[in-house]
Amino acid sequence: MLTNRQGHPVHDNQNQRTVGARGPATLENYQFLEKISHFDRERIPERVVHARGAVAYGYFEATGQLGDEPIGRYTRAVPFAEPGKRTDLAIRFSTVIGGRDSSESARDPRGFAVKFYTENGNWDLVGNNLAVFFIRDAIKFPDVIHALKPDPVTFRQEPNRIFDFMSQTPEAMHMLVNLFSPRGIPSDYRHMQGFGVNTYKWINEQGETHLVKYHWMPKQGVRSMTAEDAAVQQGRDLGHATKDLQDAIDRGEYPEWELLVQIMSDEEHPELDFDPLDDTKVWPEDRFPARPVGKMVLNSNVANFFAENEQISFGTGVLIDGLDFSDDKMLVGRTFSYSDTQRYRVGPNYLQLPVNQAKNAEVRTNQRDGQMTYHVDGQGENPHVNYEPSITGGLREARYPHLDEQGPVINGRLTRSRIPRTNDYTQAGQRYLLMEQWERDDLVLNLIGQLSQCDRPIQERMVWHFLLVEDELGLRVGEGLGIAPGDVAHLEPLASQDLSEEDRGRLASLG
């Protein structure tokens, strides 16, 4: 039987109350007003990025090892500890730039956000399908996103705005070489990798720390679409990737990913030609092998899109004992941003929603009230005590389970500076050289397609960067745009960049 939210039966859901069949409506019509005014409030602000996504549930199963070694040497985090241990999880895959109803065939990074509901509380690993990012300092995030989002006047995504920004952002070259390659349009969510991208830390029982990077590898294999495939797919269905995931799970074909971890000692590593805290870089796998730690299996779909997808809230600050942040300047900025936006987007009590609750751990806080409080969090023996300290039955601080925090000693002058070892081109060039011929052809074609819609000075600067990335890439893109190396030889390095000796040598040869 249909009721309103007060539990009153609804006898007529077709006609509002009026004076006579044609007459004016009455204001005391509670049922009608409740229905319409609730409808008026159905939407919450969509995510400022990653607005469109698909959620599924499953579990993580640990091997108890980091490759051949017992994992306890590196981390005491509970989901990894014992072989065969399973932890419930939710995952949200997403596209980044489009709105909530946009195409899932766009050339765009894909979000890969996993929420582990552990017995020590929730752990969110919020990653992407590409291993690196456009920028290395969080202060630039609103700019890179504004450049990629629609023009504020025409509301169209404009290559000229995108490459205007990118041409002034040399650290973006590694990401661009990935994004405009076939990897830039994954065929669907089941056939793509995931990467933590930022550098995190692991802490073991002794309080020792290591730097780590996370990689998810799909057992289904990796598949991508060319721009033409994507155009056809988009004409048929804007939401094919969500459907593919939901259908596979409904058929009982549960997708799986292996989780691998790269690890290095927690120091600056002056021997490397990049900084381990720079998210525009990958760690070479020959020196830092990616070793398996477990697998993720997805075996159920959401029951309600709004409650479990629109309201699910991930963040990089959501870590458990045994895991920690690094000083990666993106990671620190992200960690503020997620819970800040969620307090605004979902509401201050977003962590009381079932999908966000730490459902395998007990939650006991003195946080009270606020919009949409759903329940009082777990409390001490005495419900009158919502403060701490107290000797009358309130909550008490937890003891550190292991050692006190073993934070590093940090000594430095307050500054605003780039990290040393920016080295913006080497890995982008290596990535290009690793591609098969058809992938290089596709990358060049996609770049020319976009850059041909840009102003000449933007084209020239991009060709200049690509020549520094790898001669062949710069020459081919330049050829497509009618720009020879000699045409860009006059360009000075940007004020915002530090060129290596090798880069300077390349520049000198341009003329």
Residue 353 near ligand HEM by CB under 6 A: no
| Segment contacting ligand HEM by CB under 6 A, of 49-57, 298-306, 380-388, 481-489 | 49-57
Please tell me whether residue 113 binds ligand HEM under the rule CB under 6 A. Answer: yes
Q: Which is nearer to ligand HEM, 275 or 279 (CB)?
A: 279
Does position 47 bind ligand HEM by CB under 6 A?
yes
What distance in Å separates the CA atoms of residue 222 and residue 245, rounded to the nearest whole number?
14
Amino acid at 156: R
In whole angstroms, the minimum distance from the beta carbon of 133 to ligand HEM comes to 4
Note if 128 is an active site residue: yes
Least CB distance from residue 511 to ligand HEM, whole Å? 37
Per-residue binding string, ligand HEM, 437-456, x by CB under 6 A, is: --------------------
Q: What does the alpha-carbon distance between residue 491 and residue 343 come to, in Å, rounded to a whole number? A: 46
Q: Minimum distance from CB of 335 to ligand HEM (Å)?
A: 9
Contact residue for ligand HEM among 126, 290, 318, 507 (CB under 6 A):
126
Binding flag, residue 345, ligand HEM (CB under 6 A)? yes
Contact 57, 90 (CB under 8 A): yes
Structure-token pair, residue 178:
């990935």
Q: Which candidate, 325, 210, 190, places its Cα nearest to that of 267?
A: 210
146 is annotated as an active-site residue: no
How many residues appear in the chain? 511
**Cα within 13 Å of Cα(50), Cβ side:** 24
What is the C-alpha separation between 46 and 98, in angstroms, rounded?
Answer: 11
Determine which residue in the list 31, 63, 87, 94 makes contact with ligand HEM, applying CB under 6 A. Answer: 94
Query: Which positions ≥6 away from 505 have C-beta within 8 Å?
Result: none
Which residues share a beta bridge with 62? 294
Structural tokens at position 173: 């070259």
CB of 118 to ligand HEM, least distance (A): 19
57 φ/ψ sector (left φ>0, alpha ψ -120 to 50, else beta) = beta
Q: Give the one residue of 29, 160, 301, 341 binding ligand HEM; rule: CB under 6 A.
A: 341
What angle is formed at CA 127 by the lines to CA 123 and CA 128, rounded to 5 degrees?
Answer: 160
133 binds ligand HEM (CB under 6 A): yes
CA distance 373 to 355: 15
Distance of alpha carbon 9 from alpha carbon 4, whole angstroms: 7
Q: Which residues make Cβ contacts (< 8 Å) with residue 232, sequence separation at least 6?
A: none
C-beta atoms surrounding 422 within 10 Å: 20
- Tokens found for residue 106: 């766009």
- List 120, 122, 128, 386, catalytic entry: 128
Nearer CB in complex with ligand HEM: 127/478? 127
Q: What SS3 class is residue 15?
A: coil
Q: Is 337 in the site for ligand HEM (CB under 6 A)?
A: yes
- DSSP 8-state secondary structure symbol assigned to residue 309: I
Q: What gap in Å lies between CA 145 and CA 109, rounded to an integer? A: 12
Assigned token pair, 234: 């988009």
> In the bound complex, what is the minimum distance in angstroms from residue 302's beta carbon to ligand HEM?
13
Q: Which is nearer to ligand HEM, 50 or 76 (CB)?
A: 50
Burial of residue 273, with CB atoms counted within 10 A of its CB: 0-12 exposed, 13-18 middle, 19 or more buried: middle
Region binding ligand HEM by CB under 6 A among candidate stretches 16-24, 36-44, 310-318, 351-359: 310-318
Which of 135/481 has CB closer to ligand HEM? Answer: 135
Distance CA 139, CA 127 (A): 19
Smallest distance from ligand HEM to CB 18, Å: 42
Smallest gap from Cβ 304 to ligand HEM, in A, equals: 16
- Binding-site member from 92, 240, 291, 476 for ligand HEM (CB under 6 A): 92
Q: Looking at residues 386 to 425 of the shown chain, list those that interact with ligand HEM (rule: CB under 6 A).
A: none
Binding residues for heme: 338
Catalytic residue among 50, 174, 240, 465: 50
Interface residue with ligand HEM, options 58, 79, 98, 111 (CB under 6 A)? 111
- Smallest gap from Cβ 127 to ligand HEM, in A, equals 5
298 belongs to the binding site for ligand HEM (CB under 6 A): no
Give 201's strand partners. 211, 324
Q: Is 50 in the site for ligand HEM (CB under 6 A)?
A: yes
For position 127 contacting ligand HEM by CB under 6 A, the verdict is yes
Among 128, 209, 224, 326, binds ligand HEM (CB under 6 A): 128
Q: 341 or 390, CB closer to ligand HEM? A: 341
Contact track, ligand HEM, 263-282, x by CB under 6 A: ----------------x---
Identify the residue whose tokens are 């490759």: 67
Q: Mind giving me the DSSP string for 313-340?
A: ---TT---TTEEE---HHHHHHHHHHHH
User: Do 293 and 65 meet the contact criterion of CB atoms below 8 Å apart?
Assistant: yes
Interface with ligand HEM includes 334 (CB under 6 A)?
yes
Q: Please check whether residue 253 is in contact with residue 286, taking contact to mean a CB–CB distance below 8 angstroms.
A: no
Taking CB under 6 A as the criterion, the residue among 260, 330, 435, 444 binding ligand HEM is 330
Q: Does 48 engage in binding with ligand HEM (CB under 6 A)?
A: yes
Q: Report the interface residues with ligand HEM, using CB under 6 A.
A: 47-50, 53, 92, 94, 111-113, 126-128, 133, 138, 141, 197, 279, 312-314, 330, 333-334, 337-338, 341-342, 345
Q: Which residues are known to be catalytic?
A: 50, 128
